[in-house]
Structure 1
Amino acid sequence: MVVSNYDLKRARSYFALDNGVTYLNHASHSPLALPVREAFERFFDSWQKTAHRHDPESFRIFEDVRARLAGMIGAWPERVGLSPHTTYGMNILSSGLTWKAGDNVVISEKEFPASVYPWLRLKDKGVEIKWTKTRNGFIDEDALIANVDSGTRLIHTSWVQFNNGNRVDLRTLGEFCGNGDVLLSVDGIQGMGVMPIDTPSLGIDLFTSGCQKWMLGPCGTGFYYLSERAESRIEPPLMGWLSVDWGAEFSDLMRYDLSPRVGPSRYEIGTYAFQDWRGLNAAIEILLSFDPEERWNQVKSLTQRVIDFVESNDRLQLISPTDPARRSGIVTFESNDSKRLFDKLSALGFVVSYREGAVRISPHFYNSLEEIERLIAAAGEYSS
């Protein structure tokens, strides 16, 4: 059920908020939501009592999760695969495409390591990594496009930069790539679960995300979307017993003539961590019980208050963008001693991050303006 009026009290009821901390660090990892913990406990109780008899229900939940994730990005479930983390999706492309010497990948000079190492390994094949300059630290779509040449096979970018919260214009990149032969690969983890997105309409070929941050899920859960044109170019880099189509029939296992599963699910190669996906299913149910625009509006209102505070304080410098089209759930700022400011906030019970020499704040839909005001009061005192 989606509520028509945003219910902050209900949003907060899903979390243990009386533990002496103020959690504003979803760009790093989400706290454990109460329904997620309850899903774990129900599964472990069932496992202990009934052993393997949880299997049919677990496999059904995988398909429920797949369908819900697909709906959250505007895609068909048949175009979504389940994975353990963001990097898995990138490795499907880096390992599955047929590369040759002289090919290149265009990427920003300011990326999270997970968005870099899958492509760096291609140097051994003679593939060039074309690093692209940022503009004031922000990924520049025009610069990425200008860096493309006849050897470019792929542009890779983060949807949202982890360090400063800059949101990349994926439509511009998607339209460019769609008009040619270049694939568009996107690391979506810093936007997935906080901002709405429609991947097919944006011309994205790979959208890959872990679910342990804004999605409120456990570590070890993630997914990837693959366009048909991207999949048509891939030779499966890995195969396992779940890469083929069993039709949910596991009574005759010594069969070695089964065809690969259709679509991106063929890259799901082995037994899943059943408990983690139960937890993610519960997390998704929380998110989907709120209108996605209302969740995003709540985050925008909180981050706007932080931006207003930083811009009014001459001892602080805002690192994040202020353009509404560029904003995300992340606000980053510096002081003359950012590490000291971070340490002071941490000592006062504020869970935030220290990244690339700056303090990073990342509230979610259940955080309150009161929590932000307390953070601002503390930051104002220690930056004075």
Structure 2
Amino acid sequence: MNKTEIRTIFPHTSKEHIYLNHAAISPMSDRVKHAIEQFLADRNSGNIDNFEKWMELTQETRDLISELIGTQNSDHITFMGNTSDALSAVAKGIDWNKGDEIILNTMEFPSNIQPFRILENLGVKMVYLEPDEAGRITPEIIENAITSKTKMVSISFVQYLNGFRADLKSIGEICKANGIYFVVDGIQGLGAMPLSVQDCNIDALASGCHKWLMSPMGISFLYLSEKLSNNMKPYKTGWLSVEEPWEMSEFNKAWLPVSQHLETGTYNLLGIVGLHASLKYLLEIGIEAVQFEILKHSNFLISKLSNKEDVVLLTPNSPHEHAGIVTFKRKGEKSAEKIVNDLISRKITISARKGFIRISPHYYNTEEELQTALEAIF
């Protein structure tokens, strides 16, 4: 990986802006910016109606997502607006019975809670697991919580606060053995860590794309396994939800499978164009190479922070249990919010969450930037 060359397509790096907040929102590279500008130029003064080209690019983007998440069937990729939108489709598309249980946990970002909470109106029970002392939701914790009423397990690939990375493969095996749907919120892991929905037996994977995937806001995707897609009903439909939608005078048409007909009408093409450019570059670099750099960064931060007596480290320190998020608290008079705000004037961007400092570097960041940020904090 030629990091010097890579950093040239992220202009903020040349302006001495140390950006370490990718768990919130990422900068878009020049490649993404140029792709969006070309799309806007076409709409403004070019071909204007370039539908066939855009549909080809949309299919290419599905194929790139399929490559990223380890599935060969791009028909199972649906474009959505955000992670909550995608998880709501899952929650509302399944037939629920009174007394059914969904296993969640208390560390989750609300996107992986609220879409399921609405099911309490149907008598579905939310089972909230507590992490262990190390801040982990282990496969054993999940397995011990399963009952005859458990219908689904939903968990984040990487937790937004402490950065814990779930053992998705083991959890998927447990779910498969028990006939339970396995749902994953992928937004804090995809673009940072490799993932195979096939190897992990994932039934639904939902992810927005503006964090580690470094794409525009307002674009996300939902992957559905064939098993789950076949057992879901549509919670929304539109003119594109049927076979042969361009036969516009024929109304009584067969519905497409749920994995396809959730795209009810006009696509967010600007978002798809940006996502296409971002994914193409990410896969050119290689997700394993990206993972190597990100883990190198997080291990560096954890090592430095673990040696400080005035630090409470929230992130698990085992390399296979974290990804790109490192979260800690500095003991003393200054609050996390004040520390984060003080760093803004020094052109260093990190974030404060629940009284903790959260640093989330991406692959293009350097060790020198991390060291500078730590020196500014301490």
- TM-score, length of structure 1 as denominator length: 0.93
Pick from 345, 348, 352: which aligns with 2:346? 348
Pick from 96, 100, 103: which aligns with 1:103? 100
Query: 3-state DSSP class of the match of 1:200?
Result: coil
Pick from 208, 211, 214: which aligns with 2:209? 211
Aligned in 2, Cα 1:262/1:94: closer, same or farther, shift over 3 Å? Answer: closer
Residues 271-310 of structure 1, C-alpha deviation per residue, up to 9 Å, x if partnerless? 1121121111111122111021111111111111111110
In structure 2, how many angstroms separate the alpha carbons of the residues matched to 1:340 and 1:139? Answer: 31
State the match for 1:60 in structure 2.
56
State the match for 1:132 in structure 2.
129
Deviation at 1:211, TM superposition (A): 0.5
Aligned length: 372
Is 1:197 matched with 2:202? no
In structure 1, how many angstroms separate the alpha carbons of the residues matched to 2:154 and 2:271? Answer: 28
Deviation at 1:367, TM superposition (A): 0.8
State the match for 1:231 in structure 2.
229
Q: How does 1:237-252 map to 2 (within 5 A)?
A: 237-246=235-244, 250=246, 252=247
Q: How does 1:182-331 map to 2 (within 5 A)?
A: 182-246=180-244, 250=246, 252-262=247-257, 264-331=259-326
Contact kept, 8 Å, 2:295 with 2:319, in 1: the verdict is no
In structure 2, how many angstroms separate the alpha carbons of the residues matched to 1:262 and 1:236? Answer: 9
Contact kept, 8 Å, 2:340 with 2:349, in 1: the verdict is no
Partner letter of residue 218 of structure 2? G
Contact kept, 8 Å, 1:74 with 1:200, in 2: the verdict is yes
State the match for 1:3 in structure 2.
none
State the match for 2:164 in structure 1.
166
Higher mean alpha-carbon deviation, 238-247 vs 124-133, is at 238-247
State the match for 2:44 in structure 1.
48
Gaps of 5+ in 2: none
In structure 2, how many angstroms separate the alpha carbons of the residues matched to 1:42 and 1:114? Answer: 33
Residues 30-51 of structure 1, C-alpha deviation per residue, up to 9 Å, x if partnerless? 1121111111111111111246
Pick from 117, 120, 124: which aligns with 1:123? 120
Contact kept, 8 Å, 2:102 with 2:151, in 1: the verdict is yes
In structure 1, how many angstroms separate the alpha carbons of the residues matched to 2:51 and 2:243? Answer: 17
In structure 2, how many angstroms separate the alpha carbons of the residues matched to 1:253 and 1:103? Answer: 40
Query: 3-state DSSP class of the match of 2:320?
Result: coil
Contact kept, 8 Å, 1:99 with 1:127, in 2: the verdict is yes
Partner letter of residue 72 of structure 1? L
Contact kept, 8 Å, 1:84 with 1:220, in 2: the verdict is yes
In structure 1, how many angstroms separate the alpha carbons of the residues matched to 2:105 and 2:91? Answer: 17
Gaps of 5+ in 1: 1-5
Contact kept, 8 Å, 1:205 with 1:226, in 2: the verdict is yes
State the match for 1:32 in structure 2.
28
Partner letter of residue 307 of structure 1? I
Runs of 4+ with deviation above 6 angstroms: none
Residues 100-136 of structure 1, C-alpha deviation per residue, up to 9 Å, x if partnerless? 2111111101110000001100010011111111113
Partner letter of residue 32 of structure 1? M
In structure 2, how many angstroms separate the alpha carbons of the residues matched to 1:192 and 1:166? Answer: 14
In structure 2, how many angstroms separate the alpha carbons of the residues matched to 1:170 and 1:22? Answer: 32
